[in-house]
Amino acid sequence: MRTAWQWLANRLRRNRGMKLLALLMAIISWHVIRETIGFEVEIPDIRVEVRSPEGMAVLNQSATTVDVVFRGSQEDIRQLDPRQIRAVVDLSPRADALVQEVTLTHEMMKGAHGVRAVSVRPPRIRVALDREEERRLPVEGRVTGQPLIGQVASVTCMPAVVTVRGPAAKLGAIERLVTQPVDVDGRVESFSRRALVAAPGENWVARIQPAEVQVRVAITADTATRMVTGVPVSCLTPEGVSDRIRVDPPRVDVILSGWSNRLAEVETESVRAFVDCGVVTGAGPVRLPVHVWIPAGLPLSVAAEPAEVDARREMP
């Protein structure tokens, strides 16, 4: 035994410098590797996708999203796309249990390449299963916001009925589905847009076919009529003509028609009425149409009452 220990001690004393150098290089390499792959990032709200056994559906799950800390190189961390990452829980191998508690592991994280999940919060989820059922349910369009002009008259979906598969205990209480909100803010006319059908409930999974529908939003203009009374009628005469021309009647009423909110923008003093008196050459009256001017940019219809007036030169 003494001889064996002496042999080992002699071996350790040989090339002592090379052994110390190798140890130093190993320590440096370990630190370099640790710095290279030692970056971490926490990505919140990663979707948990539960794959239920054939003929079964998720009745309830304790969490639909989890927060995950990933570790890896700086480049791999930088390339992570949270939209592509999901936690996939496959319950098919354990189809006999209606209530299961599953620990979320690194292997369940899909779409996170080159990194490792080192922490999941919550670390476990509880899943309850039920018999899967299929129903056909009407879907209604949902809107948000306010049109710039007019109001939403109707919202229709195409198709109007979708197929839903999910747990029997949940589907029995649902009478209809709605779409994700369609924004109508600032709209001035009817339009169509595709929208996803919203999930019918939280913490359980429903498979909807088709997953999105065409939403038709009909916007009707809220129109009205407004009268501005007693507007003076001005005469437009060619340059250099100094003769005075009298119109009869000297005032008219102006009728404005259009969107209610734009009518409210018109100030009474800004409405003008005029006739082109360049054709009035003799002493007799000339029947002329009345033209109406309103501020630019207002999409309104205008009319004068009466629509025509008599114009004649005043004799000296």
pLDDT tens figures, 58-105: 888 888 899 999 998 888 888 999 999 999 999 877 666 788 899 999
pLDDT at 195: 95
Q: Please, are residues 158 and 216 in contact by the beta-carbon 8 Å criterion?
A: yes
Residues 164, 177 contacting (CB under 8 angstroms): yes
Domains and CATH numbers, the chain: 37-130 (2.170.120.30), 133-220 (2.170.120.40), 223-313 (2.170.120.30)
Given a contact cutoff of 8 angstroms between Cβ atoms, the answer to whether 52 and 96 are in contact is no
Residue type for 85, please? I
Q: Which residues of the chain have pLDDT under 50?
A: 34-35
- Do the Cβ atoms of 123 and 108 come closer than 8 Å? no
Phi and psi dihedrals of 231, rounded to 5? -80, 125
Task: Give tens-digit pLDDT for 185-229.
Answer: 988 889 999 999 998 887 777 889 999 999 999 988 777 888 999
Strand 99-103, strand 65-72: pairing: unpaired
Residue with tokens 């909807």: 208
Helices of type H across the chain: 2-13, 16-37, 74-78, 168-171, 260-263
Number of DSSP helices (H) and strands (E) in the chain, helices first:
5, 24
pLDDT attached to residue 244: 79
Query: How many Å is the maximal CA-CA distance in the chain?
Result: 149
pLDDT for the residue numbered 308: 93
Q: Give the strand pairing for 161-167 and 99-103.
A: unpaired
Model-level pTM? Answer: 0.55
